[in-house]
Structure 1
């Protein structure tokens, strides 16, 4: 009896271990430019703008500090030298651009526990119709950041918590959770009057929250660009999952377009479904060449990539090899750069392609749900032994 019980317990333990998924762990493998699918076929001229924008931020960093916890990334001084030299490269000389990256960088394949494949989705700059005053049909508020919202990057307090964040308000000396999306959209919070703009469609407002930016065509004929100003600290939840649970969509049919169609066709249930995502984004008016990414610079269509910053640093060039968005498309093989993040972007191999603004961008972003992989470009000679322990400690945290 005792032996039988022991065998049973051992069997249950092994079964439990077998079904437990591995925690994410960054794997980096040195490669060669010849191994990058499509390298040499990408017109790097349109990449120069995106790279220069990241360089503007990089040049302001402390030269002595490491660029990342990844040892191959080197230090800020190395990146600053590369950025300075890049200024002399002509953007209209494809051969010179290709030669520059081959000279100053070495590719490394990024993987998660040795698996180089991951999910790549898309996002875009949304289009809305709005007004500065509430009047029909502009009755849906887009809120600006409230004065009492406290956003905390936990990595500022403990390095092992890098990439994690919370938000709330201080009550009696304690940081308490902020209101959920449902509470905010139903005016169950103290800042219902903190409205930036009023728009005419709750579904448009919801998807603008997901995209994090938008262009609003105002009722007076002007155009206002809005961007991310803060979030309520609640975890992002993809409502497509909820619609799959309900049986109205499947994993094969779920997309931004199919979700939008269902919400528009079921207005009596739309609010409840949208509120299953408790995350809420606050906006501000912005000016300039495009929406502002998490790196703090304007994004570049089809060159800016949202990544998980707890694994990869902003400003890192990444060569991507992604499956076609639709059957009629070609694989996406081009040089992109980590300049943004998002609530659903989690893991070492996870990307979100910024497609830009307009109907075509919305279509591509909505349909994109592709498998892909990428290679990071780190400076030649960027190995910094002083970062090795930091990287090991960092990986260990993600395995808890």
Structure 2
């Protein structure tokens, strides 16, 4: 209160002499704030002047508004007392306490551009511990006043520089976008490559509940719904169905700590790899078919995409699930024969390969073409040693129509696709004579089996159909992404939903230089590490061009609410070591949806 009274007295004094100041000496900066007020900041932090408005607001009115906004943004005493801005560490990163003045460009960034993205984070985090106060206070902040927004963050948040475990501060910024593909609901012609929904046979095991005996050797487990329950022992006469649990080299997801598995007869094993899926080993709904396998791979790495259907409508697909295999980017080779593409800062090469038939597919009975639409076959022989994809069982196999790139990529084609019964897609390598016998199993025995698969990356992403809107795709936080203000991060080292200030190491005036506040609202298999961010550019060709060119050295600061419970920081405070000893925590903030810690 004394501080407010002092400021109001200063307002009166300044207002009394405002008329004696020459008009030319008052230069206005961002948010219509006089340059005289900014002059109290260090010279390196001062905002560049901009032309004064035609009818400048009287100085006293500006100062009164500034005091009002600062009062509205002032945190409650509980938040102020809980600042605890002390260095701390987790297993994957070190967090050095920082002043807001240390953030390059903090005073010049137009924070109003990040405000909508922040409010979206609050829609998920607003009821959680540590977030309720700042999210509630944000409702009274003027979204058009950059100075008020800046004061809000400084009042309610502590800034920490995210560093690597060796205390170095440099990392990598890449870019991603929402791609556009061409697609069809029906299989045929150039539309040969399926967008899969979540598989029907995927099982989940909480890796935190695994007994030590389950690591490195087979053990026992049972299945409840889609959940795998490890067993420490099996007693004689146990009526429960027991399976052999064979985890092999399975790695749990970094967010939910679950392992993705499947049932193979009496064994529970890791879910199919990309190569196995592309060879036909999958039971999952098909949401659409697209004409470009390389762009489909890009869509999987980006985690979302839009598909323009044959009737001109747009369908938006969002990340739904992943096969549990680690992401291993197919590194581009010198003079390689595959198709090259840049995704999330990686120059990768996609091998679209043929594989000769083993002869087993030739005896598959034909089914109706409509089985390709739902993607889940009606029947399966109990004697099959290997699961068969809906794109393989009951389908005729033939070469594909040439793609726009000029290459011919063979693929699986359902019998009867491409129009009325007996008609075929018109492309080289498609035999009308062979199609005439599509319903005869014997005719398939002599048909060359050709399969399309990218073998080098074992990970595979499944999608869900979401409503289209002018907003960006839904990210891992569960809110639409904001182009230019949302980033994907490693959720273990940067809590999802938190404000993140990113600064490129290049000259701030250089093309592509970034010094701005963003929101950590997404994650991805390719985004791992402490100082690691993936800048979301938006939708379309322009966004793709920008994203493919982005690979910069950066430094990162995370803004954490002053009242947010952080066990690693609390431990550092108790020992007064400032985080000198490494914490065993896997996540900065343990959360049952956004980052599950190792300890159950």
Secondary structure at the aligned position of 2:158 is classed as: strand
| Corresponding residue for residue 293 of structure 2 | 202
Give the C-alpha shift of residue 109 in structure 1: 0.7
1:163-242 map, 5 Å: 163=255, 164-171=257-264, 175-187=268-280, 189-191=281-283, 194-239=285-330, 241=331
| Corresponding residue for residue 172 of structure 2 | 119
| Corresponding residue for residue 17 of structure 1 | none
| Corresponding residue for residue 513 of structure 2 | 331
2:154 to 89, 102, 116: 102
Could you say if the C-alpha distance between residues 200 and 323 of structure 1 is closer, same or farther in structure 2, counting changes exceeding 3 Å?
farther
Could you say if the C-alpha distance between residues 327 and 30 of structure 1 is closer, same or farther in structure 2, counting changes exceeding 3 Å?
closer
Give the C-alpha shift of residue 324 in structure 1: 6.0
Distance 1:195 1:219 in 2: 16
Distance 2:569 2:407 in 1: 53
Q: Is the 8 A contact 2:160 2:558 kept in 1?
A: yes
Secondary structure at the aligned position of 1:393 is classed as: coil
1:392 to 583, 586, 589: 583
Structure 2, unmatched stretches of 5+, are 1-89, 212-251, 353-404, 411-450, 573-581, 588-596
| Corresponding residue for residue 43 of structure 1 | 110
Give the C-alpha shift of residue 258 in structure 1: 6.2
Could you say if the C-alpha distance between residues 356 and 204 of structure 1 is closer, same or farther in structure 2, counting changes exceeding 3 Å?
same
Give the C-alpha shift of residue 170 in structure 1: 3.6
| Corresponding residue for residue 133 of structure 1 | 186
Give the C-alpha shift of residue 259 in structure 1: 4.5
Give the C-alpha shift of residue 102 in structure 1: 1.7
Could you say if the C-alpha distance between residues 261 and 228 of structure 1 is closer, same or farther in structure 2, counting changes exceeding 3 Å?
closer
1:283 paired with 2:463, answer: yes
Output one character per residue of 1:5-48: Cα deviation in whole Å (capped at 9) or x when no partner: xxxxxxxxxxxxxxxxxx97411111111111111222222211
Q: Is the 8 A contact 1:143 1:194 kept in 2?
A: yes
Moved more, 84-93 or 284-293: 284-293
Distance 2:347 2:98 in 1: 40
1:53-72 map, 5 Å: 53-61=120-128
Could you say if the C-alpha distance between residues 299 and 183 of structure 1 is closer, same or farther in structure 2, counting changes exceeding 3 Å?
same
Secondary structure at the aligned position of 1:394 is classed as: coil
Give the C-alpha shift of residue 275 in structure 1: 2.1
Q: Is the 8 A contact 2:278 2:452 kept in 1?
A: no
Structure 1, unmatched stretches of 5+, are 1-22, 62-75
Q: Is the 8 A contact 1:120 1:368 kept in 2?
A: yes
Structure number having the greater helix percentage: 1
1:31 paired with 2:98, answer: yes
Give the C-alpha shift of residue 370 in structure 1: 1.3
Output one character per residue of 1:297-349: Cα deviation in whole Å (capped at 9) or x when no partner: 21111111111112221111111002569996141110011111111111111
Higher RCO (C-alpha under 8 Å, 6+ residues apart): 1
1:52-91 map, 5 Å: 52-61=119-128, 76=129, 78-91=130-143
Distance 1:282 1:106 in 2: 37
Secondary structure at the aligned position of 1:124 is classed as: strand
When normalised by structure 1's length, the TM-score is 0.78
Distance 1:175 1:347 in 2: 31
Secondary structure at the aligned position of 1:148 is classed as: coil
Secondary structure at the aligned position of 2:585 is classed as: helix
User: Whose Rg is larger?
Assistant: 2
Moved more, 300-309 or 316-325: 316-325
Distance 1:342 1:385 in 2: 25
When normalised by structure 2's length, the TM-score is 0.53
Distance 1:310 1:130 in 2: 36
Distance 2:409 2:508 in 1: 32
1:362 to 524, 544, 554: 544
**Structure 1 vs Structure 2 CA RMSD:** 3.6
Give aligned pairs, total. Answer: 352
Distance 2:253 2:295 in 1: 34
Distance 1:213 1:254 in 2: 17
Secondary structure at the aligned position of 1:51 is classed as: helix
Secondary structure at the aligned position of 2:159 is classed as: strand
Could you say if the C-alpha distance between residues 92 and 128 of structure 1 is closer, same or farther in structure 2, counting changes exceeding 3 Å?
same
Moved more, 135-144 or 171-180: 171-180
Could you say if the C-alpha distance between residues 268 and 200 of structure 1 is closer, same or farther in structure 2, counting changes exceeding 3 Å?
closer
Give the C-alpha shift of residue 53 in structure 1: 1.1
Distance 1:153 1:371 in 2: 36
1:298-377 map, 5 Å: 298-323=480-505, 329-377=511-559
Q: Is the 8 A contact 1:237 1:276 kept in 2?
A: yes
Output one character per residue of 1:260-319: Cα deviation in whole Å (capped at 9) or x when no partner: 7998577679x9883201111111101243211111221111111111112221111111
| Corresponding residue for residue 11 of structure 1 | none
Could you say if the C-alpha distance between residues 383 and 221 of structure 1 is closer, same or farther in structure 2, counting changes exceeding 3 Å?
closer
Q: Is the 8 A contact 1:317 1:377 kept in 2?
A: yes
